[in-house]
Amino acid sequence: MSSTPEISPEVRIISVAHSPDSDDAFMFYGLATNKLETDGLKFEHTLKDIQSLNEDARNGVFDVTAISFHAYAYVADKYALLPHGASIGDKYGPIVVAREPREPEDIGKMKIAVPGELTSAYLALRIFNKDFEHVVVPFDEIIEAVQKGEADAGLLIHEGQLFYKQMGLDKVLDLGEWWHERTGLPLPMGGNAIKRELGPELMKQVSKHLHRSILYSMENREDALTYAMQFARDMAPELADRFVAMWVNDLTLDYGERGREGVRRLLDEGYEAGIIPHKANIEFVD
Indicate which residues carry an active-site annotation. 158
Rounded CA-CA distance 259/185 in Å is: 7
Burial degree of 259 (CB within 10 A; 0-12, 13-18, 19+): buried
Rounded CA-CA distance 271/190 in Å is: 18
∠ CA 182-184-186 to the nearest 5 degrees?
A: 105
155 in Cβ contact with 94 (< 8 Å): yes
Gyration radius (Cα) of the chain, Å: 19
Map residue 17 onto helix, strand or coil. strand
In what helix (H) or strand (E) does residue 97 lie, and over which residues does it extend?
strand 95-98
Angle of helix 120-128 versus helix 256-272 axis, rounded to 10: 60
Rounded CA-CA distance 256/32 in Å is: 26
177 in Cβ contact with 187 (< 8 Å): no
In what helix (H) or strand (E) does residue 202 lie, and over which residues does it extend?
helix 200-219
The single-letter DSSP state of residue 162 is: H
188 bridge partner residues: 88
